Amino acid sequence: MLNKVTLIGAPTDIGAGARGASMGPEALRVANIGPILQGHGIEVQDRGNLNGPPNPWLPPDQGYRHLAEVVTWNQLVHDAVYTELSGGRMPILLGGDHCLGLGSISAVARHCRDAGKKLRVLWLDAHADFNTSDLTPSGNIHGMPVACLCGYGPTELTSIGGQVPAISPKWLRQIGIRSVDAGEKKFVHEVGLEVYDMRYIDEMGMRHTMELALATMDANTHLHVSFDVDFLDPDLAPGVGTTIPGGPTYREAQLCMEMIADTGRMGSLDVMELNPALDVRNKTAEIAVDLIESLFGKSTLMRK
């Protein structure tokens, strides 16, 4: 795992159905994400925030809300993430709503093509984010990034990383899913996404889930983690726009992160959908940072 990390703030809620994720980057900084990672011997640079268009808060137009602004924000994210990866650093994208996963992962996929690496994407989320404009009732693009990455969506979005589709659905593993729209469900099955939903985690446990989700990676695999904070149970993490009950507990989430850290393969990370307007005394930001620390190898006891 790289020990040079760059923080990139993307302060926008342009793809969300509730305002406030635009304040996520600063809340993560207030929860000390930088100094805490430095405490683990990691060299951290904070590049500050990207500066994209404001949120006009308009209804959907031909199935999409704010498409032009979403494209601009994702282009900015793509360029920033790609620059860090090309410079041999690990980007951590501080969101911002999850529509930006599209720009981030398009850049990661482009980097993997340049470097001849295999890509594995872990999508930690309550939602599959696999909607299209035909399927989504809301038009909010934060419900569409996975579909766009797999080539289903408007060309302006699917082509941001220079190749359509940016990734194959085979490279994805979704974990923690518990809210999927009816049409989206059908589409997830058609495409054959590998989904470990909450029922699977309940029945088989987080350990077995992660063993499967992390299987068949090798020394040449770049692991990208897209961490939507609504992955967590809302009792633990109330500060998100779309809380869905029945998520992973604190210990399950810790185990998930620790097993990712054990692979030593994580090369990039998105921390998305943190909404300080809905949080309680920055508790959700602090839990997110605590879990990120585990992604970077914090464990309760020293392990040999």
Nearest C-alpha neighbor of 49 from the set 106, 94, 98: 94
Strands 266-272 and 118-124: unpaired
Q: Any catalytic annotation for residue 273?
A: yes
Query: Please, which residue, 44 or 274, has the CB nearer to Mn ion?
Result: 274
Inter-residue contact 54 to 70 (CB < 8 Å):
no
Q: How many residues does the chain have?
A: 304
228 touching Mn ion, by CB under 5 A? yes
Residue of the chain from 13, 125, 233, 279 that contacts Mn ion (CB under 5 A): 125
Q: Is 54 helix (H, G, I), strand (E, B) or coil?
A: coil
Query: Please, which residue, 125 or 279, has the CB nearer to Mn ion?
Result: 125
Q: Any catalytic annotation for residue 208?
A: no
Q: Which stretch binds Mn ion (CB under 5 A): 123-131, 197-205, 259-267, 279-287?
A: 123-131
Please give the size of the binding site for Mn ion, defined by CB under 5 A.
4
173 touching Mn ion, by CB under 5 A? no
Output the smallest distance, CB 282 to Mn ion, in A: 21
Q: Is 1 helix (H, G, I), strand (E, B) or coil?
A: coil
Using left for φ > 0, alpha for ψ between -120 and 50, and beta otherwise, residue 153 falls in left
Residue of 69, 97, 184, 230 with catalytic role:
230
Q: Which stretch binds Mn ion (CB under 5 A): 13-21, 47-55, 119-127, 165-173?
A: 119-127
Q: Restricting to residues 42-101, name those near Mn ion by CB under 5 A.
A: 98
Output the smallest distance, CB 192 to Mn ion, in A: 20
Two tokens at 73?
């924000």
Query: Please, which residue, 228 or 286, has the CB nearer to Mn ion?
Result: 228
Query: Please, which residue, 125 or 293, has the CB nearer to Mn ion?
Result: 125
Residue of 78, 111, 127, 222 with catalytic role:
127
129 touching Mn ion, by CB under 5 A? yes
Q: Which residues contact 130 (CB under 8 A, 6 or more apart)?
A: 144, 146, 147, 150, 180, 184, 187, 188, 191, 193
Nearest C-alpha neighbor of 283 from the set 225, 226, 240: 240
Q: Which stretch binds Mn ion (CB under 5 A): 23-31, 175-183, 225-233, 251-259?
A: 225-233
110 touching Mn ion, by CB under 5 A? no
Residue 245 backbone phi and psi in degrees, to 5: -65, 165
Q: Any catalytic annotation for residue 262?
A: no
Determine the distance from the C-alpha atom of residue 112 to the mean position of all C-alpha atoms in its chain, rounded to a whole number.
Answer: 18
Q: Is 226 helix (H, G, I), strand (E, B) or coil?
A: strand
13 touching Mn ion, by CB under 5 A? no
Q: Which residues here bind Mn ion, judged by CB under 5 A? A: 98, 125, 129, 228
- The residues that are catalytic are 98, 125, 127, 129, 142, 228, 230, 273
